[in-house]
Structure 1
Amino acid sequence: MISDRALLQKHSSFNIGDGVYYSLRKNIITLNLKPGEPLNIKTISEKLNVSRTPVRDALIKLAKEGLVDVVPQKGTSVSKIDLKRVEEERFLRESLELRAIEMFMGIKKESDIVRLQSILDMQKECVINNDLIALQEYDDEFHKVFFTTTEKNTCWEIIQSMSGHYRRIRLISLWERPIITKVIDEHKKILDSIVKGDVQEAISLFKDHSSRIIVEEKELMQKYPEYFRLQSEDNFLIKDFLSMM
């Protein structure tokens, strides 16, 4: 169910099409719209109180990002999480962030360390309040510091725009309490290495932090199979596409 109509009014700089797109994208990324959930243009336009055209345009844009599946004779739905895409998105993020951390270590200021500690404290507060959406947002804020300090904001925007599958599996992973504990602990260790000024340790810890999801994927897929795309589904979509040619 779409819960973000207010987003259309909140950002006055958005046109209607932008508002519909960002509303749908947010609902998909935060799992308010579940992987595999059908999407009906008429229903969405009524919930957001807009015409069908901007909804249709938004769905086309989201389909290009791999967040929506449009299958002829089958309908439109939120894409299931594709582990191949998760790995590519993780690779993109790790590649850019490793370089950002290396640069960050050479120019960091005390205010940056204070900022990271503040974010870590807020993450702990989110755990107490069981606010997983906010926890993930602060997780992103923690990593964003490396890019803002090094003035690599465009790199961060690319990561955010190209990480829909990776962000969703990360959020699902936070449904598991032991994983939440690991996230907080790993962030603390990364921060400790930054305070010490140990570049190699910081990079090593980040690599471990980034690759953790690879170990967790199998368990998450077994526990929530309905949210993940199987190889057989990929073959079906290919056959359906070829039948149109």
Structure 2
Amino acid sequence: MRENRKSIGDAVYSTLYKNIINMTLLPGTIMSEKDISARMEVSRTPVREAFIKLSKDGLVYIVPQKGTIVSKIDMKRVEEERFLREILECGVLELFMKCKTEDSIYKMKKNLEKQKDALEKKEYDKFMEYDNMFHKITFDETNKNMCWNIIENASGHYYRIRLITAWMEDISINVIEQHQELIDRIVDNDYESAKKILKHHIRKIIIEEDEVFEKYPEYFKAIDDDNIFGDNLFSDLKNK
């Protein structure tokens, strides 16, 4: 019984998590246990547990007596998630340069073709999926899967802003170009140039954030955005 309950809870959490990071559930969306349990045909308990897990991920805020809201993208959190990713990816890249094979390079090139195809078809979710798989290759090849899991589990805000940039053609095309440059430098065994390209690639969010915020301001947390429900959100959370 406990295993069945856990599997249901995991499924609810996984579904909600995916819908939040792929922007099916937009930032600021208010959710209720009742509606989601009815829609997913489960009891309220696994939904409540999923909300708690998502709040720990920083993807929702739970306000007693008022509801659960999908968190808006917090640029301070984006910066921390970006920093974590840069440190781990650059470290793994150095290891990858020492153990790469023709097969691993082939995987990267094949993946890049899939990215291009998804972008041409405007299948942005698929594009992001292939983008993540591209970066994951270096972790797989160096047996650093735990490090990749840390990145995946702590990148909900960073991932969402990356998805938004994928909607903007000039930015997404640049992503493809940077991935190609990275492959070229890896093939050349030029670690320093490859690391420089990777850092620029990961840091490009800093350059793009003003353009993205100007186009989609409703998705981002403002400095004074603690007042989502007409009272102090964080005060309510602390008093829970």
Does the 8 A contact of 2:74 with 2:157 survive in 1? Answer: yes
Which of 124, 129, 143 is 1:132 aligned to?
124
Q: Quote the residue 1:9 is aligned against.
A: none
Q: Quote the residue 2:168 is aligned against.
A: 176
Cα drift, residue 77 of structure 1: 0.9
Q: Quote the residue 1:6 is aligned against.
A: none
- Structure 1 regions of 5+ residues with no counterpart? 1-11
Higher relative contact order at CA 8 Å, sep ≥6: structure 1 or structure 2?
2
Cα drift, residue 233 of structure 1: 1.4
TM-score normalised by L of structure 1: 0.91
Q: Quote the residue 2:135 is aligned against.
A: 143
Does the 8 A contact of 2:81 with 2:158 survive in 1? Answer: yes
Partner secondary structure for residue 35 of structure 1:
coil
Partners of 2:142 and 2:155 in 1: CA distance: 21
Which AA in structure 2 matches 1:19? A
CA pair 186-86 structure 1, distance change in 2 beyond 3 A: same
CA pair 66-213 structure 1, distance change in 2 beyond 3 A: same
Which of 86, 91, 94 is 1:99 aligned to?
91
Residues 1:162 and 2:154 aligned together: yes
Which of 103, 111, 127 is 1:111 aligned to?
103
Does the 8 A contact of 2:62 with 2:237 survive in 1? Answer: no
Residues 1:188 and 2:180 aligned together: yes
Which AA in structure 2 matches 1:95? I
Which of 207, 215, 237 is 2:233 aligned to?
237
5 Å-filtered alignment, 1:64-103, equals: 64-103=56-95
Q: Quote the residue 1:4 is aligned against.
A: none
Partner secondary structure for residue 21 of structure 1:
helix
Partners of 2:201 and 2:237 in 1: CA distance: 38
What CA RMSD, in Å, does the superposition of the two structures yield over aligned residues? 1.5
Q: Quote the residue 1:25 is aligned against.
A: 17
Partner secondary structure for residue 61 of structure 2:
strand
Partners of 2:126 and 2:226 in 1: CA distance: 33
Partners of 1:88 and 1:137 in 2: CA distance: 22
Does the 8 A contact of 2:93 with 2:138 survive in 1? Answer: yes
Partner secondary structure for residue 44 of structure 1:
helix
Partners of 2:67 and 2:33 in 1: CA distance: 10
Q: Quote the residue 2:202 is aligned against.
A: 210
Which AA in structure 1 matches 2:220? F
- Structure 2 regions of 5+ residues with no counterpart? none
Which AA in structure 2 matches 1:146? T
Cα drift, residue 164 of structure 1: 0.3
Which of 43, 55, 71 is 1:51 aligned to?
43
Matched pairs, number:
232
Partners of 2:143 and 2:7 in 1: CA distance: 28
* Segment drifting more, 228-237 vs 192-201: 228-237
Partner secondary structure for residue 69 of structure 1:
strand
Partners of 2:68 and 2:26 in 1: CA distance: 13
Q: Percent identity?
A: 49
Partner secondary structure for residue 15 of structure 1:
helix
